[in-house]
């Protein structure tokens, strides 16, 4: 069996649910089990026709104006962006595992957009939640398995900027360090 590819993915949106709200940006960083970066993908997306930004989410963006501005630069039509994304995924060298923190949020958006605009999801239903893995490795309750409660050895010096590609790279390195520890290797 070919080695799995862990596709660390982060999205930015203007509300809590796809369709009613719009995904502003998507980014993925594909990693091998041994932390080799196999490639990256990022696009800023046009807003969905008829979607409306949610006020609470826009209040968050008002506190992060640089990140919001970054996800509104060079926007791409949604269908074209998602077709490009699906093609990029299909060219990766092994079975895909979607990975995110939290997977329930990011996967919901990516799956909806892929099904709506591409008609298929190259991940099938394979999604790994980094927070759940942290719970298993630390024996902490799920709601205590937050980044501030994780061992510092799991973190590389990568920024968390709310710019999708930065965050996908950061959480991908985190995942790989956790996988190294899980398999008895030094992160």
Looking up residue 24, the CATH number of its domain turns out to be 3.30.420.10
Average pLDDT over residues 105-120: 98
**What is the helix (H) or strand (E) element at residue 74, kind and residue range?**
none
Q: Is 139 exposed, middle or buried (0-12, 13-18, 19+ CB in 10 A)?
A: exposed
pLDDT category of residue 159 using cuts at 50, 70 and 90? confident
Distances (CA, A) of 11 to 108, 135, 144, 171: 10, 23, 23, 12
Q: How many domains does the chain have?
A: 1
Residue ranges making up the domain that contains 89: 5-182
Examine residue 187 and state whether it is found in any structural domain, yes or no.
no
**What is the helix (H) or strand (E) element at residue 39, kind and residue range?**
strand 37-45
Examine residue 174 and state whether it is found in any structural domain, yes or no.
yes
Examine residue 14 and state whether it is found in any structural domain, yes or no.
yes
Identify the residue whose tokens are 């990011």: 106
**Is residue 187's pLDDT more than 70?**
no
pLDDT in tens, 16-36: 999 999 999 999 999 999 999
pLDDT category of residue 59 using cuts at 50, 70 and 90? very high
Examine residue 151 and state whether it is found in any structural domain, yes or no.
yes
Q: What is the pTM of this model?
A: 0.95
């Amino acid at each position: 069996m070919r080695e799995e590819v862990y596709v660390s993915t982060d999205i930015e949106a203007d509300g809590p649910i796809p369709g009613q709200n719009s995904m502003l940006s998507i980014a993925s960083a594909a990693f091998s089990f041994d932390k080799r970066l196999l490639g990256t993908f990022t696009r800023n997306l046009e807003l969905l026709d008829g979607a409306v930004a949610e006020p609470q989410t826009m209040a968050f963006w008002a506190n992060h104006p640089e990140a919001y501005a970054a996800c509104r630069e060079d926007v791409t039509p949604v269908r074209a962006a998602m077709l490009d994304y699906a093609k990029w995924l299909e060219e990766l060298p092994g079975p895909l595992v979607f990975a995110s923190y939290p997977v329930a949020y990011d996967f919901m958006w990516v799956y909806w957009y892929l099904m709506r605009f591409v008609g298929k999801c190259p991940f099938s239903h394979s999604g790994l939640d980094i927070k759940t893995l942290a719970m298993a490795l630390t024996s902490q309750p799920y709601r205590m398995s937050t980044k501030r409660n994780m061992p510092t050895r799991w973190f590389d010096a990568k920024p968390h900027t709310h710019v999708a590609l930065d965050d996908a790279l950061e959480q991908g390195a985190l995942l790989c360090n956790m996988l190294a520890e899980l398999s008895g290797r030094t992160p």
